[in-house]
Amino acid sequence: MANAQFQLKLGKPSVVCSFGSISDLQNADPAAVLECCDITEVRLDLLAAEGADICARPWRHLTGVPILFTVRRIEEGGGIELDAAARMAMLMRVLDDSALIDIEVASITEMSQLIDALARREIPWVASYHDFKKLPPPATLQHAAVKAAKAGAVGFKVAARLHTPQDLAQLADFQRVDHPIPVATMGMGPLAPVSRLLCAQCGSVLNYGYYGSTPTAPGQWDSALLKLAISRLMPLETII
pLDDT tens track, the chain, 240 positions:
456 889 998 888 999 999 999 999 999 999 999 999 999 999 999 999 999 999 999 999 999 999 999 999 999 999 999 999 999 999 999 999 999 999 999 999 999 999 999 999 999 999 999 999 999 999 999 999 999 999 999 999 999 999 999 999 999 999 999 999 999 999 999 999 999 999 999 999 999 999 999 999 888 999 999 999 999 998 776 555
Q: pTM, whole model, 2 decimals?
A: 0.95
Domains plus CATH for the chain? 14-232 (3.20.20.70)
- Check residue 1 and report its DSSP letter: -
**Distance of alpha carbon 179 from alpha carbon 4, whole angstroms:** 27
Give the Cα-Cα-Cα angle 149, 150, 152 (nearest 5 degrees): 65
Contact, 84 vs 110, CB < 8 A?
A: yes
